[in-house]
């Protein structure tokens, strides 16, 4: 299960958070844990360089893209490599929607489209689409090109 996708600005404020199968009372823990993880480790990291951590059987892969930091959390079949795949799709889609690694302003400007992309990529804890071009078409309700 892909337990969470969380996107925060450089000050640690949450821009998007989507949890799957995480009870509401545990979400606050996760939010502060991830933000702290980012604050401790993301300083000076290059765009899209992946960082990884685990806590017991739960894995976390995270990175920076422009002004935003992106965290994905998973367990079981979503181990560090599957999460790396998921975060790769997310960063690719974000760059596609924003045209470049986004500033916070640009991210918020494209907020609606970004939500749609995330909706196409992760659905209730499962990775659904992995190709950025296809996602770009799907959010405009266009069928995929290969079809």
Partner 1 sequence: MAQPLVKKDDDRDEEVDYSPFMGIEKGAVLQEARVFNDPQLDARKCSQVITKLLYLLNQGETFTKFEATDVFFAVTKLFQSKDIGLRRMVYLMIKEISPSADEVIIVTSSLMKDMNSRTDMYRANAIRVLCRIIDGTLLTQIERYLKQAIVDKNPVVASAALVSGIHLLQTTPEIVKRWSNEVQEAVQSRAALVQFHALALLHQIRQNDRLAISKLVTSLTKGTVRSPLAQCLLIRYTSQVIRESGVNSQTVDRPFYDYLEGCLRHKAEMVIFEAAKAITELSNVTTRELTPAITVLQLFLSSSKPVLRFAAVRTLNKVAMTHPMPVTSCNIDMESLISDQNRSIATLAITTLLKTGNESSVDRLMKQITNFMSDIADEFKIVVVEAIRSLCLKFPLKYRSLMNFLSNILREEGGFDYKKAIVDSIVILIRDIPDAKESGLLHLCEFIEDCEFTYLSTQILHFLGNEGPKTSDPSKYIRYIYNRVILENATVRASAVSTLAKFGAMVDTLKPRVFILLRRCLFDNDDEVRDRATLYLNTLGDGSVTETHKDVKDFLFGSFDIPLTNLEITLKNYLQNPAEKPFDITSVPREVKSQPLAEKKATGKKPTGLGAPPPPPTSAADAYERILTAIPEFASFGKLFKSSAPVELTEAETEYAVNVVKHIFDSHVVFQYNCTNTIAEQLLENVTVVVDASEAEEFSEVGTKPIKSLPYDTPAQTFVAYEKPEGIPAIGKFSNTLRFTVKEVDTSTGEAEDDGVEDEYQLEDFEVVAADYILKVGVSNFKNAWESMDAESERVDEYGLGARESLTEAVNAVINLLGMQPCEGTEVVTSNSRSHTCLLSGVYIGNVKVLVRLSFGIDGSKDVAMKLAVRSDDVNVSDVIHEIVASG
Residues that bind partner 1 (CB under 8 A): 10, 14-18, 22, 26-27, 29-30, 33, 44-45, 47, 49-56, 58, 61, 64, 66-67, 77, 79-85, 101, 103-105, 108-109, 111-112, 115-116, 119, 123-124, 126-130, 134, 138-144, 146-147
CB of 10 to partner 1, least distance (A): 8
Of residues 64 and 92, the one with the C-beta less far from partner 1: 64
CB of 102 to partner 1, least distance (A): 10
Question: Do residues 103 and 67 lie in contact, with contact meaning Cβ atoms separated by under 8 Å?
Answer: yes
Rounded (5°) CA angle 55-35-3: 50
The closest alpha carbon to 26, from 15, 34, 14, 37, belongs to 34
CB of 2 to partner 1, least distance (A): 12
The whole-angstrom separation of Cα 133 and Cα 145 is 9
Of residues 12 and 134, the one with the C-beta less far from partner 1: 134
**Phi and psi at residue 21, to the nearest 5°:** 70, 20
């Amino acid at each position: 299960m892909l337990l969470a996708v969380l996107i925060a600005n450089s000050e640690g404020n949450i821009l998007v958070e989507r949890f799957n199968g995480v009870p509401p009372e545990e979400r606050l823990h996760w939010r502060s844990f991830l933000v702290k993880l980012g604050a401790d480790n993301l300083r000076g990291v290059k765009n899209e360089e992946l960082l990884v951590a685990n806590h017991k059987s739960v894995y976390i892969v995270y990175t920076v893209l422009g002004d935003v930091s992106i965290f994905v959390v998973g367990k079981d079949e979503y181990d560090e490599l599957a999460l790396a795949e998921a975060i790769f799709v997310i960063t690719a889609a974000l760059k596609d929607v924003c045209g470049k690694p986004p500033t916070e302003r640009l991210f918020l400007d494209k907020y609606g489209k970004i939500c749609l992309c995330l909706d196409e990529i992760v659905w209730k804890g499962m990775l659904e689409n992995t190709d950025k071009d296809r996602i770009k078409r799907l959010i405009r309700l266009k069928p995929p090109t290969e079809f």
